[in-house]
């Protein structure tokens, strides 16, 4: 056998993994949410995802409830944009409750966006006023605003939704930049920012988002604080479970809700 053949045979043994070498992909799961109207929505969640799209977060459920409760002023006939949507529950609620146009977004990962489109297509109502797009925070939003009707002014949205995004501390500035680029500059345009402090020892870093938003031209108003039955866990491998967690389980159950608008236009 030639030397080249020996090398090829050796390489085949070195680089060929056994069939069960990689763990199987986590299959999608499903979660249900009951609207205030009594209607139930079934949402498909992607299999385990490093961007946390495989969970239906408490803040997402509470945001959906809040949007239903205030649909007449916040949602009906409005253009709506959601960042980091996961399964897209708040956006679906807006579409069901009479929004003029909804654009629901998440990181431009094929599985995440396909899953959003699945939830739109399989919603209990037939919806023609909602689309899903991939979007990187801080980038130009032309692929999002292209879904809005053209007018004499710049295309933008009446309502922005940010549900449980603040634990991404390094992304705060990009999120606020995206808000600046997409929120209509009128007095009644709003951004809803709802979140839970999944790592209570970093609560100050969560809240720093609002300080940054104020610096960048927004006014901030707290509109809600609601305690859930169970906390949801965000794994942080840099912090082992310790005394930090012992007194903080109850804090993790709380959903805080804030409403932001343009400074000087209130």
User: CATH no. for residue 131?
Assistant: 3.40.50.150
**Residue 16 included in any domain:** no
Question: What would the two tokens of residue 200 be?
Answer: 């209570």
pLDDT greater than 70 at residue 52: no
| pLDDT tens readout for residues 9-43 | 455 544 455 555 445 567 888 999 999 989 999 99
The pLDDT, as a whole number, for residue 16 is 53
- Binding residue positions for S-adenosyl-L-methionine: 57, 84-86, 106, 137, 163
Range(s) of the domain holding residue 219: 33-231+243-262
- Binding residue positions: 57, 84-86, 106, 137, 163
pLDDT greater than 70 at residue 249: yes
**Residue 219 included in any domain:** yes
d(C-alpha 215, C-alpha 211), whole Å: 6
d(C-alpha 91, C-alpha 74), whole Å: 12
Contacts from 91-94 at CB under 8 Å and sequence distance 24+? 91/130, 91/161, 92/41, 92/43, 92/64, 92/119, 92/120, 92/123, 92/127, 92/130, 93/35, 93/64, 93/67, 93/68, 94/67, 94/130, 94/159, 94/161
Could you give the angle at which helices 203-215 and 172-182 cross, rounded to 10 degrees? 40
Q: In degrees rounded to 5, what are phi and psi of residue 114? A: -60, -35
Note whether 95 and 119 are within 8 A (CB). Answer: no
**Residue 28 included in any domain:** no
Average pLDDT over residues 169-192: 97
| Cα-based distances in Å from 29 to 26, 44, 56, 87, 187 | 9, 6, 10, 11, 40
**Residue 52 included in any domain:** yes
Confidence of residue 50 (pLDDT cuts 50, 70, 90): low
**Residue 24 included in any domain:** no
**Residue 80 included in any domain:** yes
The pLDDT, as a whole number, for residue 232 is 79
pTM: 0.86
d(C-alpha 121, C-alpha 42), whole Å: 12
**Residue 6 included in any domain:** no
Nearest to 111 by CA among 40, 206, 46: 46
**Residue 12 included in any domain:** no
**What domain count does the chain have?**
1
195: helix, coil or strand? strand
């Amino acid at each position: 056998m030639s030397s080249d053949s020996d090398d090829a045979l050796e390489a085949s043994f070195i680089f060929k993994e056994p069939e069960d070498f990689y763990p199987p992909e986590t299959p999608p799961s499903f979660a249900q949410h009951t609207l205030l109207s009594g209607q139930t929505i079934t949402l498909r969640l992607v299999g385990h995802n490093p961007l946390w799209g495989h969970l239906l977060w408490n803040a997402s459920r509470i945001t959906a409830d809040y949007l239903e409760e205030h649909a007449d002023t916040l949602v009906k006939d409005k253009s709506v944009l959601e960042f980091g949507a996961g399964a897209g529950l708040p956006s679906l609620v807006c579409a069901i409750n009479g929004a003029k146009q909804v654009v629901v977004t998440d990181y431009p990962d094929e599985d995440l966006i396909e899953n959003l489109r699945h939830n739109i297509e399989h919603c209990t109502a037939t919806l023609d006023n909602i689309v899903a797009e991939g979007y990187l925070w801080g980038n130009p939003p032309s692929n999002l605003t292209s879904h809005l009707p053209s007018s004499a002014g710049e295309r933008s949205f009446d309502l922005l939704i940010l549900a449980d995004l603040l634990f991404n501390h390094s992304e705060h500035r990009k999120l606020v930049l995206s808000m600046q680029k997409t929120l209509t500059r009128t007095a009644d345009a709003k951004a809803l920012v709802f979140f839970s402090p999944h790592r209570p020892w970093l609560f100050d870093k969560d809240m720093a988002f609002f300080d940054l938003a104020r610096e960048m031209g927004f006014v901030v108003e707290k509109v809600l604080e609601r305690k859930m039955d169970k906390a949801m866990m965000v794994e942080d491998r840099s912090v082992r479970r310790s005394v930090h967690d012992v007194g903080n389980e109850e804090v993790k159950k709380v959903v805080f809700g804030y409403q932001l608008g343009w400074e000087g236009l209130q």
